[in-house]
Amino acid sequence: MIKINRLNCKTDYYLDYDVYINNIKIITISNNEIKNINLKPGNYYIEIKSGASKSKKINFELSQNQIIEFEIKPKHQNNAIFKIIAKLLFNNTIINIKIKSDIYL
């Protein structure tokens, strides 16, 4: 199972983020929301998208009885200049995603 934790941020609070696993949209997550996704053991990659904005892709391997928790939030903090620069220089990669914990049960 994977757990997606979208942190409570004033930036982009009104935008929903779409969670993609292996290029397939799985769920939509709102600000300050946590969602669980049951997956079979295997190799995957996750990416977050919202309109033209996106995260980097993160590869992960999920084993039996394992829970991987991802934390997502915008990279910018209500800074319009940063958002414009990020879109130009970083190919719209302005959503931050990281593995917060990796637990075996």
DSSP string, 62-97: E-TTEEEEEEEEESSSS-HHHHHHHHHHSTTB-EEE
* pLDDT score of 77: 64
* pLDDT score of 83: 67
Domain with 77, as residue range(s), is 2-104
Cα–Cα distance between 49 and 18 in angstroms, integer?
5
Please report, for the domain that includes residue 9, its CATH number.
2.60.40.1120
pLDDT digits (tens, 9 = 90+) for 10-46: 878 889 999 999 999 999 999 999 999 999 999 999 9
Mean pLDDT score, 77-88: 68
pTM given for the model = 0.84
Number of structural domains, the chain? 1
